[in-house]
Amino acid sequence: MLFRSCSRFYDTIRTINQLKVIYLQEVSEINSKPSARYALALFSLGTEGKTNNELEKHVLNLLKILKSNNGLNDFLRNPTFSSSDQENVFNAVSKKLKLPKHLYNTICLMIKKGRGYDLVNFSEDFLSLCSMSKNELIVQIRTAKKVSSENVEEIKKSIEKITKRVVRLEAENDPDIIAGLELKVGSFLFNSSVNSKLESIKNILKRG
């Protein structure tokens, strides 16, 4: 069942020349975000200093922390706290994580400008820039049940063959999708989950 869905997904990629489309969508997505100029500035500094590989590791770690349930992202997104309070807290976090100078300065500037709420987008934008510079493609797969490492590797190789890019595949199991799978390549989402079909039926019924 899983691979019938994947097969349909691969056919879709072939029919729309997905390599060019995905790349253009990635660039368009980044450029359209307010967080983009900060990510681009950091990426430029990293390119000049040849430190983007190190920065990428730190940003990836920071993103995981921001997305975890530790309250940090909620605090930085809360407008009732002053930017100075947010900067003090981030300073303590930065020391613990030993963030590089350019990354620390960029985020402090965002907080001072009242953009502490946008750190997740900033982090994702920077990681996307790093991936594009290495001809990588980030692929996210969500299934109701955990996919075996063999199946993950098979999906990864199939997408690499089609797109001619190095795939970094992130697999996640989510019971909420009930059955089937969701595959996200760049900004292209292929959704064959039962949950998405139920939502479609609900929308049709609402329209009468």
Domain-wise residue ranges, the chain = 2-19+135-207, 33-131
Amino acid at 23: Y
Give the pLDDT confidence score for residue 18 in this predicted structure.
Answer: 47
Strand partners, 181: 143
CATH architecture of the region 33-131: Orthogonal Bundle (1.10)
Give the pLDDT confidence score for residue 180 in this predicted structure.
Answer: 67
Give the pLDDT confidence score for residue 24 in this predicted structure.
Answer: 45
**How open is the CA angle 169-119-156, to the nearest 5 degrees?**
5
Give the predicted TM-score (pTM) of the model: 0.65
- Three-class secondary structure of residue 166 per DSSP: strand
Give the pLDDT confidence score for residue 58 in this predicted structure.
Answer: 97
Neighbours of 147 (CB within 10 A): 20
Give the pLDDT confidence score for residue 132 in this predicted structure.
Answer: 81
Residue-by-residue pLDDT tens, the chain, 208 positions = 455 555 544 554 443 344 444 444 555 555 556 778 899 899 999 999 999 999 999 999 999 999 887 899 999 999 999 999 999 999 999 999 999 999 999 999 999 999 999 999 999 889 888 888 888 877 777 777 777 888 888 878 887 887 777 887 877 777 766 666 677 765 566 665 544 444 553 454 455 4
Please, where are the H alpha helices in the chain? 2-15, 18-31, 36-49, 52-67, 72-77, 83-97, 101-112, 119-133, 149-163, 194-207
